[in-house]
Amino acid sequence: MFKNVIVRVPSKTISEGLTSAHEGKPVYEKALVQHENYVSALTKAGVNVTVLEPKDEFPDSCFVEDVALCTSKCAIITRPGAETRRKEAELDDMIEALKSFYDNIEYIKAPGTIEAGDIMMVGDHFYIGHSARTNEEGARQMIEILEKYGLSGQVVEMKEMLHLKTGLAYLENNNLLVAGEFKTAPEFEKFNKVPVEMDEAYGANCIWVNDYVLVPAGYPNVQKKIEDLGYKVLVVDTSEYRKIDGGLSCLSLRF
């Protein structure tokens, strides 16, 4: 179960965020409303939400998931692969917020790069995507830190997706949403795989929070498959964040 969530309000510069999508630029006012609705959904799922102030000098800073991995034993500050995002991991308010919840804070060091959007937690085991944003050294350091605390990790080679969690979502109870290259990845054979078609691949980025599953608006087939598994679904519109490669999981740290 999750007790706490950290989010950051989107900045007025959100339209300058990094993107590989061809969906146009996000509209700040719309993004703000969508973020408020996202926080409301999380609150409904029974967590306490810590809201950090926007940082206009960092257009992508609302995507807090990438800058830290929150585990049951420690928080690990990452070192983002995107250079324009590297200083986000050093922001004082984020580190102070994590220190208020964790006694143990660890740090990924150069030349390692890793973004926690590439990390999927399954109990005490962590799958780490080797991607354009997460290099071998970053993954090695992350696994070393996890093992120090009695946790474990393994690397998943990637070729297509931006982040591991772009095409995967673990919904607890052995249920795993899979899209694209992950449908056939041998690492996920033991799971009850719930396939997501490529035209709804963005919908694969859902989050399980205390028996609720937050699902992005506009992906009815994904929503139905999750409902058919017996989960309570909360639908949240993240269309403005999709324009800058962001999904539901990217917008929060959950622990």
Instruction: Kindly list the catalytic residues.
Output: 163, 250
The answer to whether the annotation marks 227 as part of a ligand binding site is: no
Nearest residue to 133 via CA among 144, 118, 148: 118
The answer to whether the annotation marks 245 as part of a ligand binding site is: no
The answer to whether the annotation marks 79 as part of a ligand binding site is: no
123 class by beta-carbon count within 10 Å (0-12 exposed, 13-18 middle, 19+ buried): exposed
The answer to whether the annotation marks 253 as part of a ligand binding site is: no
Cα 250 to Cα 145, 189, 191, distances in angstroms:
22, 25, 23
Helices (H), 167-238: 220-228
DSSP-assigned letter for residue 134: S
The answer to whether the annotation marks 151 as part of a ligand binding site is: no
234 token code pair: 């909360």
Separation CA 56–CA 243 (nearest Å): 18
The answer to whether the annotation marks 95 as part of a ligand binding site is: no
The answer to whether the annotation marks 66 as part of a ligand binding site is: yes
92 token code pair: 């004082």
Question: Residue 120 is inside which H or E element, if any?
Answer: strand 119-122
**Known binding site for substrate: residues?**
18, 60, 65-66, 85, 133, 244
**Binding positions:** 18, 60, 65-66, 85, 133, 244
